[in-house]
Amino acid sequence: MKYLTPGPIQLPREVLNYINNQPYFHRSNEFKEIFSSVIEKMEKIIGEEVLIFPGTGTFSIDTMVYNYVNPNEDVLLIDIGEFSKRLGESLISRNARLHIIKSEIGDVVAPDIVEDYSKKINDLKAIAMVHNETSLGVANRYVEKIQDIASSLNAILLVDSVSGIPAEKIGKKIDVIATASHKAFMSIPGASIIFYNIKPRNLDKLPPSMNLNKFIDMKKNLETPYTPPINVIMGLDYSTNYILKIGVDNYAKMHREKTDYLKNLVKLKPVAKEEFSSNTVSAFYTNNAKTIIEDLRRKGYTIASGMGNLAKNIIRIGVMGDVNFDDIKNIAEVINYYD
């Protein structure tokens, strides 16, 4: 079975070989050496400080919210899909006063609208957004402009880029970015990852597992407060080498080329507007989602169905990891047979 899914992704054999080792003791020099290497490379790839801790993309989002938003603070959420709504659920659980601005399906909210809406909120503390909306294959490429808007209002920008970076690039420093190990960073599930340009601003005590200040303090000595996802980090050691070897720009371009090839072959209507079509995940409308997915499985391929209200009406295809043009051609032939 080969996985062209939004994540976890089809991992290259080399990554799996790196992972298939006895975990190091996390207080040993052996672990510190590989941990230091991964941190250095990830910070070079993104250009911000990084924290790596056990968890998923969802836990990364929750941790970001709880470290950077305090109860009863006003937060603007830019809603462009299902994972935007999940970000909103996290903010609600933090007892934030949530203001929501929503886009049409497949589109994003223009920066001038975000700015006008933000200015109407008296004491805005944060803007929260999804950079790469996995549920619809939509990339919000206004993220840098929205950072400027947040900064101009003395608010912070919180970004979910779980299926985005580094294949869907951000070209400037962002206040906080939450992501995970098992998508475009090309390792196995198990690591929550946060890049930050400003330190946590929570005013109350947090559960130890999500208190980023503990991780920041221990990082100085190349340690973590608790047992880290050691074998995930081993996988990241290989994948970050690979990304830096081919270059971050080329890594993003490689994903764009595979996505363009997919969209040129598949006859279905894409969900995302062309200018916001994600590099990593594509979504297409269809009346035969279940049949297509089942037939592809019989032929050795797994893709994903839709989410939320569109669960039965779209298919989602990821091109991250060990996915080649022949794979894309093969699945396109099956899809086009039904539509």
CATH code of the domain containing 254: 3.90.1150.10
- Of the chain, the percentage scoring pLDDT greater than 90 comes to 99
Q: How far apart are CA 284 and CA 328, in angstroms?
A: 14
pTM: 0.97
Question: In the prediction, which pLDDT does 45 show?
Answer: 98
Q: Which token pair is 124?
A: 């805005």
The total number of structural domains that make up the chain: 2
CATH number for the domain that contains residue 152: 3.40.640.10
Residue range 123-179, pLDDT digits in tens:
999 999 999 999 999 999 999 999 999 999 999 999 999 999 999 999 999 999 999
Among 243, 264, 280, where does a domain finish?
A: 243
Among 243, 262, 280, where does a domain finish?
A: 243
Q: Does the pLDDT value for residue 314 go beyond 80? A: yes
Q: What mean pLDDT do residues 228-242 have?
A: 97
Among 243, 276, 309, where does a domain finish?
A: 243
Considering all CA atoms of the chain, what is the largest pairwise distance in Å, rounded to the nearest integer?
57
Q: Does the pLDDT value for residue 103 go beyond 90? A: yes
Question: In the prediction, which pLDDT does 139 show?
Answer: 98
β-bridge mates for residue 99, sequence order: 76
Q: 46 and 178: one domain?
A: yes
Reported as a pLDDT band with limits 50, 70 and 90, residue 339 is confident
Q: Does the pLDDT value for residue 93 go beyond 90? A: yes
| CB of 58 closer than 8 Å to CB of 30 | no
Reported as a pLDDT band with limits 50, 70 and 90, residue 180 is very high
Q: What mean pLDDT do residues 256-272 have?
A: 98
Closest CA to 318 of 262, 264, 270, 280: 280
Q: 127 and 152: one domain?
A: yes
Question: In the prediction, which pLDDT does 300 show?
Answer: 98
Q: 51 and 188: one domain?
A: yes
Question: In the prediction, which pLDDT does 129 show?
Answer: 98
**Domain of 322, in residue numbers:** 2-8+247-338
Q: What mean pLDDT do residues 210-224 have?
A: 96
Mean pLDDT of the chain: 97
Q: 223 and 270: one domain?
A: no
Q: 172 and 232: one domain?
A: yes
Q: 295 and 191: one domain?
A: no
